[in-house]
Amino acid sequence: MNKLVKTKNLMKIMGVVNCLAMALVAQTANTACAWILGQPKEPEEAKRMRRF
Amino acid sequence: MIEKISKYLFEFQYKNGVLEEKERNLYEYAYNLLICRSVIYLVIVAVGVWMGNLKEIIVFLLSFISLRQYAGGIHLEKTEQCMIASGFLVCIAGEYLSKFSMPTVVIFWLWIVAVGCIWILAPVGCNNKKLDEIEQRVYRKCSRILLVNECFLIFIMFVAKHLWISKGIMLAQIILSINLILGWLKENFFTQRLVKTN
């Protein structure tokens, strides 16, 4: 029971993390550079988030 | 290391039925971005507080990143290398600004050249993110608008006698122009040579 509650809470936290991560992907899809000196290989799905 | 954490986060949610296999690439990329950004900014702020030059670091970082995101430039191949180099670059720039806050004639002329380089070269793509024609057009426009705004801010801060802020923005643009030149050389010279030899 305790394990189930813990997993459920963890999933809620992961939901927030997922939202943050996706917001970052959407932002970097519309820029030329992900962060200061880094740019991981951009997947095709991320390119579809381009707004122009 | 960061790739392993990203994979673990995806696997954990995949096993619990939250995410699907087809979303793997996107989510691993997303976690990679989130972890890298969080870690690098936390490290930079911690080092800034520890060295007592947080305000110089923030001025440099804000002017550098806002322009860099549209101008692009050279990127390192491995995530860990990028993080170490980024942290090192920002901390050195912050330390330099806190020690030598007055703009000099050399810095002024270097800045003039840097503005010209950014205007001409931006945007520069990289291996991991090739820019198509539309992206080039949009990012060129954005980077030029930001460049003009930053130059205007340099002038305002100079008149308002906040010389260290002027120098911080100048320094960010000088370093960005070096990034752009290196990125342009890598993309147009080294990559083409490798293609020819293959």
Cβ neighbours around B154 below 10 Å, total: 21
**Strand pairing partners for B129?**
B126
Highest mean pLDDT among A4-8, A39-43, B31-35, B169-173: B169-173
pLDDT digits (tens, 9 = 90+) for B158-186: 999 999 999 999 999 999 999 999 999 98
- Statement: residue B63 has pLDDT above 90: yes
Chain B touched by A2 (CB under 8 Å): no
- Residue A3 vs residue B139, higher pLDDT: B139
| Cβ burial, residue A26 (10 Å; 0-12/13-18/19+) | middle
> Are B13 and A14 inside 8 Å of each other by CB?
yes
Tell me the pLDDT band of B196, cut-offs 50, 70 and 90: low
Nearest to A52 by CA among A17, A26, A21, A23: A26
Largest Cα–Cα separation, chain B: 62
- What was the pLDDT predicted at B197? 57
Query: Count of CB atoms within 10 A of residue B124's CB?
Result: 26
Q: Is the pLDDT of residue B83 over 90?
A: no
Instruction: Find which of B14, B63, B75, B145 to mutate to test the A interface (most A CBs within 10 Å of its CB).
Output: B75
Q: Tell me, what's the pLDDT at B154?
A: 96
Q: What is the pTM of this model?
A: 0.88
Long-range contacts of B103-111 (CB under 8 A, 24+ apart): B103/B158, B103/B163, B103/B166, B103/B167, B103/B170, B107/B167, B107/B170, B107/B171, B107/B174, B108/B170, B110/B170, B110/B174, B111/B170, B111/B173, B111/B174
Instruction: Check if A23 contacts B (Cβ < 8 Å).
Output: no
Chain A neighbours among B 42-101 (CB < 8 Å)? Answer: 64-65, 68-76, 79, 82-83, 85-86, 89-90
A32 and B CB contact within 8 Å:
yes
Nearest CA in chain B to A44: B26
Model ipTM?
0.87
Q: How far is A1 from chain B (nearest CA, A)?
A: 16
Q: Do B37 and A35 touch (CB under 8 A)?
A: yes
